[in-house]
Chain A
Amino acid sequence: MVRKRFETTVNGRRVEREAEPRLLLSDFLRHDLGLSGTHVGCEHGVCGACTVLVDGEAVRSCLMLAVQAEGRQLRTVEGLAEAAPPGGGEDRLHPLQEAFREAHALQCGFCTAGILMTMVPFLETHPDPDEPAIRRALSGNLCRCTGYQHIVQAVRLAAERMRTS
């Protein structure tokens, strides 16, 4: 099968690669770019672990072909934290990441990247979400550890801080 060249932008960095058309975006991110923060659970669009942003929208990267990323802006969990300023210091976590840490919104962490990438655009359009709205937005992400309670709390905490900051 004919390999195809394509160009895309991942976390602000332009990349140009060649791939078989059947390569899934999730596998491209993990294996070709080494961005293993995007997790792969079910590979058929049920679990949400592989959610990434494509032109700012949350999509399942196991249901897109890598070649379809041509000309798109991708953002993965690696692109959430702000890099440390030159000269030292630490990376600055995204407020949602901070809130997840504080509210114990993860245990094993397998689903976390997908949930973060789902809730980041959600919070941009819903700065003050109530609990039912958060649960609806979370409906496409499976977490088998937390029971979701702490995830909902973390999202509310992050929303509050992002509103006031």
Chain B
Amino acid sequence: MKPPPFDYLAPETLDEALDALAEHGYDAKVLAGGQSLIPLLNFRLAHPTVLVDVNRIGDLARIEENGGGLRLGALVRQATLERDPRVAECDPLLAEMIPWVAHPQIRNRGTLGGSLAHADPAAELPVWAVARGARLKLSSRQGERWVEAADFYVGLMTTALEPHEMVTEIEVPEMPAGSGWAFEEFARRHGDYALMGVAARITVDGDVCREARLVYMAAGETPTPAPEACRLLESEGLADAAIDRAAALAAEREIEPSPDIHAGVSFKRHLAAVLTRRALRRARDRAGAARAA
């Protein structure tokens, strides 16, 4: 339960960090909050020869409002997201999801970019990024590129990041007028990894559902969207009966949960249907309340 030996670099600037990644590539790992990487080291599941500790790069910890949306530095701590009034204002879905991320002590260290790059399919933040249509800025010595969250997740714990790149910024658009949102999760105890969870986001115009997005956690190798169920909502609307049908469709056809010691597949599909119904009803009520206000 002790990490294997590694060399340790603590650059003060992003350029120095990117130089280190360019030099060490596959052998290097970026150390941000360390709340996933250090357990992996302690278990010796990861054997980087160099750790590039980015915690001193203050520029990576900025939060900025951006035309009703947010630009978030990769090094912003989860506890900061939980407290920051701009997050509550511009991204109430994120504000709702953050308290579900692990425990307070973990959120004090854990970072947004770290969780997104770690790409655990049972984690909240990757699901948030896909549900919100976030874009991630990947930086390297060669420059930077922006990748849609949905394209960032390519497989189990696998992302579009090249070994010499790191996530430096996350951008989320403004929530459009008529937005509703909700997050629902079921875990055995609060803070445990979810058995199932879903983020729902809708845009309504009168009784019409203009856009729906459902993204599931612990439901496959990556954050798992349910496009068929969303199309059903967009064509049939958000009455209870349509919500019930969409929830059943997503739970039975569009997710691929794996059995584990706590729950089998049929129970997880059951959870998905129940949580989807709850999330969509709450999202619908919020969208209505926003319209009435």
Contact = CB atoms under 8 A, between A and B. Distances in A.
Given A44-B39, A63-B39, A58 B2 contact: no
Contacts, number: 89
B15 to A, nearest CB: 21
A62 B34 CA distance: 10
Contacts of A70: 10
Interface string A36-47: 000000011100
A67 B31 CA distance: 13
A24 B191 CA distance: 23
Contacts of B10: 67, 70
A57 interface: yes
Contact of A59 (B2, B108, B190): B108
A65 interface: yes
Nearest to B40: A44
A122 to B, nearest CB: 8
Contact of A137 (B31, B39, B42, B104): B104
A54 to B, nearest CB: 8
A4 B109 contact: no
17 contacts: A1-B7, A21-B5, A24-B2, A43-B2, A51-B105, A58-B108, A63-B106, A64-B34, A65-B8, A65-B31, A139-B104, A139-B189, A139-B190, A139-B191, A140-B104, A140-B106, A140-B191
Interface of B: 1-8, 10, 31, 34-35, 38-39, 41-43, 51, 53, 55, 79, 99, 102-106, 108-109, 189-191
Nearest to A50: B105
A20 interface: yes
Contacts of B6: 1, 21-22
Given A44-B43, A68-B53, A22 B2 contact: yes
A140 B2 contact: no
Contact of B39 (A45, A51, A139, A140): A45
Contacts of A62: 38, 42
Given A21-B7, A62-B42, A27 B2 contact: yes
A70 B10 CA distance: 11
A75 interface: no
A22 B3 contact: yes
Interface of chain A: mostly helix, strand, loop or mixed: mixed
A56 to B, nearest CB: 10
Contacts of A4: 8
B3 A24 contact: yes
B55 A48 contact: no
Given A4-B8, A24-B3, A48-B103, A63 B38 contact: yes
Contact of A118 (B79, B99, B104, B190): B104
A48 B7 CA distance: 27
Given A1-B7, A63-B34, A63-B109, A43 B1 contact: yes
Contacts of A43: 1-2, 42
A136 B3 CA distance: 30
Contacts of A1: 5-7
B1 A44 contact: yes
Interface string A62-80: 1111011010000000000
A51 B106 CA distance: 10
Given A21-B51, A44-B42, A59-B108, A139 B103 contact: yes
A68 B54 CA distance: 11
A118 B106 CA distance: 11
A60 B49 CA distance: 24
A45 B38 contact: yes
Nearest to A21: B8
A68 B109 CA distance: 12
Given A22-B41, A65-B53, 7 more contacts: A20-B5, A21-B8, A22-B3, A22-B5, A51-B105, A65-B8, A139-B190
A4 B7 CA distance: 9
A2 B108 contact: no
B105 A140 contact: yes
Contact of B7 (A2, A57, A64): A2
Contacts of B189: 139
